Every structure is written in C-alpha cells, then in structure tokens.
Amino acid sequence: KFQIEHKNDSEDNNIIHKNKDKMYTINQLSLGGQRIRFNTKCLNSNNTNDVERNKREIYVCNTFQRACAILGQSLRVLNLGGTDIPIPTLCDSILSVPSFQTNLMRLHFGGNGLGDAGMSLLASNIGKGKFKNLRTLDLRYNDIGHMGCLVLVNDVLLGIDSQRLGENGCSAENETTISPPTFSHASTTPIQKLYLEGNAIGDEGANYLGKALKDSNISLTDLYLGANGIGPDGAVGLATGVRFNRTLRQLYLEGNHIGPSGANAFSNVLEELNTLGIDNEEENEQQQQQRVLETLYVDNNGIGKDSTKRLCAALQSSSAITDGF
C-alpha cells in the first residue's frame, strides 16, 4: 500500500497519490533505512509455523516483484540505501525488469555491505550498457575493495570483459607521458556521478579508476572517493587519468593520505594542461572547457602548506580546493 503523499515544496518532488479515479505515476521512491528482508530459512522446514511463514515470505517477495514491474514504467530515482536488501533479490526483482533498465536515472544503494562479491553481482546486472540512462550510482559505505572496484570499472564504466583491465595493469609509476589506452567496448553506462566514499579501494582501485578516466567513452563529471585508503600511488594514477579526461569536473579525495607527493602529481598535470592552453589558446579553448578539473577536495590528506599553495595555483582558484592539512 502506498501512503498518500504529495509534495510540491522542493525541486525533487515525490508524488505518491491514489484515488478511485486515477493513479499518478511515481518518479521517485525512497526506502532508505527501511529493513527489507525476505526470510528463506524456512523453505525446507516441515514445521507448521515455518510453512506458514514461508507462504507469507513468498507472497511478500512476489508482491514486491510485481510492484517493481509496475513502478519500473515510470520510476526515475530509486533509493535503497541501508535497506540490507539481499543483492540477488535486488537483481531478480528490480534490475532485471526491462522498464527499469530503460527509465532508471539514479540508483542509491549505499550502506548495504556489498563487499567485492556483491559488487561483482551488481555490476554484472547493471553493466555492459543495460541501463542506458543511469546517470547517478551511489555505492558509498559498502565495503568494496580494489577487486570490486576493478569489476565496477570494467563492467559498468568501460563495458569490457572483467579480465581486460587486470591484464593491462595500472602502474602508478611514470605514466604521465604515456598515451591514453584504447579499449574494446561492448557498451558503456553513461554514469556522470559515482559515489564510492567510505569503501576500501586503496591505491589499486584508484589506479583502475585513473586508467578508466583516460578513456574517451567515460562520462563522469563527479567522482567521490573520500575515505578509501588512497595514498600517493593512487593519487598519481588518478592525476594521470585527469590528464587525458574530458569530462571530470569535481574530484573528492577527502580523508585519504595522498600526502605532498600525491598533491604534487595533480599539480604537475594541471600545470601542464594550463601550459597547453597558453601555447595553443584558440584550438584548446573548447578542449579546456571539457577536460580541466574545476574542484579538488583534499582536506585531511596531510599534503602540507607548500603543496596546498601550489595546487591552488595550478587549479587557478584559491577556493577550488579545501584545506589539505
């Protein structure tokens, strides 16, 4: 049952309204923090109570699947953050619905303890271009490590086989002079905002993302990587990706430990881009608008006063970065 709710006081309106004459379409549905559980422990039990409970669980699950099939026709935003919904249920009940794959634009699934295994299953269901209009993917606080990040990069961002990037590797050493790699794409997902704060991708995961940023098919404009255990090597990999990227506007690295060397890696790249803009101003004007990082969040990274000042100058804005101490 849907509780009647009609809000017109915000930019993101939620309309859930029903009467005997008509039912308005639902564009946004938030179940964040609600514990959605499907009890499967009593499936093979002969206990009378378990059998009755199992019937209820099957009914709830089937009802949920039917509701998803209907909602998918109009739903654009789905928030299942902190619901603990089992990932197989999410994939079978929601992500497999063709209308969801066509219409969904924002999926919020933070705080569900995916881990690398859950990330792999999720990526196989939303990757390879299945969700053609998905613009925002929120996976913060999901215990995703570097292997989960690898699958996310391959299946979702690049649309290639999961083994491909691992074969190419992603060394943080001496990559600033290497030309951007080319990938054989099956089909990419046009994600613009990717939230990965509070995971554990580390330097390896950051390097995978840095290599992905070099690819011309990437659409990312905002990348959130706060509190991921990223050090100097990971920062070098990300900076190298920024060197070749044409879309990324904001990069969030707060609460990591990139240090002065990581900050200087970004400064080196940005200073080089600024020099290119001066040397060939007319040709580079349009490229400059598409590729130069506007804002870099590096607070609580221990980068030091001198590196902070240099990075500020490289970004050509005193307010473009936050405190790096």
C-alpha distances in Å from residue 224, one per residue of 137, 275, 318: 11, 27, 21
DSSP 18: B
Q: Taking phi first (over 0 means left), then psi (-120 to 50 degrees means alpha), and beta for anything else, what does residue 251 get?
A: beta
Rg (CA), the chain: 22
What is the structure's pLDDT at 102?
A: 87
What is the structure's pLDDT at 206?
A: 98
Tell me the one-letter amino acid at 80: L
What is the structure's pLDDT at 37?
A: 56
What is the structure's pLDDT at 100?
A: 83
What is the structure's pLDDT at 192?
A: 95
Q: What does the block give as tokens for 61?
A: 């699950």
Q: What backbone torsions phi and psi does residue 229 show, to the nearest 5 degrees?
A: 65, 30
What is the structure's pLDDT at 229?
A: 97
What is the structure's pLDDT at 211?
A: 95
Cβ(18)–Cβ(1) below 8 Å: no
What is the structure's pLDDT at 101?
A: 86
Cβ(153)–Cβ(124) below 8 Å: no
Cβ(87)–Cβ(36) below 8 Å: no
What is the structure's pLDDT at 111?
A: 93
What is the structure's pLDDT at 19?
A: 43
- Kindly report the pTM of this predicted structure: 0.78
Residues of the chain by 3-state class (helix, strand, coil), percent to 5: 45, 10, 45
236 exposure class (CB count in 10 Å sphere: 0-12, 13-18, 19+): buried
Q: What is the C-alpha to C-alpha distance for residues 37 and 39, in angstroms, rounded to an integer?
A: 6
What is the structure's pLDDT at 74?
A: 81
C-alpha count within 13 angstroms, C-beta hemisphere, residue 3: 6
What is the structure's pLDDT at 53?
A: 55
Cβ(206)–Cβ(175) below 8 Å: no
Q: Find the angle CA(72)-CA(12)-CA(68) to the nearest 5 degrees.
A: 15
What is the structure's pLDDT at 243?
A: 92
Q: What is the C-alpha to C-alpha distance for residues 65 and 63, in angstroms, rounded to an integer?
A: 5
What is the structure's pLDDT at 91?
A: 83
Q: Taking phi first (over 0 means left), then psi (-120 to 50 degrees means alpha), and beta for anything else, what does residue 227 get?
A: left
Pairing of strands 28-30, 193-195: unpaired
What is the structure's pLDDT at 30?
A: 77
183 exposure class (CB count in 10 Å sphere: 0-12, 13-18, 19+): buried
What is the structure's pLDDT at 52?
A: 57
What is the structure's pLDDT at 130?
A: 85
DSSP 215: S
* 112: nearest Cα among 159, 154, 80, 136: 80
Number of H helices and number of E strands within the chain?
11, 10
Cβ(301)–Cβ(254) below 8 Å: yes
> How do the pLDDT tens digits run along the chain, 325 residues long?
343 333 444 444 444 444 434 445 678 877 776 665 554 444 444 555 555 555 555 555 666 667 777 777 788 898 989 888 888 878 877 788 888 888 899 999 999 999 999 999 999 899 877 888 999 999 999 999 999 999 999 999 988 755 444 444 343 333 333 333 344 444 566 899 999 999 999 999 999 999 999 998 889 999 999 999 999 999 999 999 999 998 999 999 999 999 999 999 999 999 988 887 544 444 444 444 444 788 999 999 999 999 999 999 998 865 556 555 5
Helices (H), 143-299: 146-151, 162-168, 202-213, 232-244, 259-279, 281-291
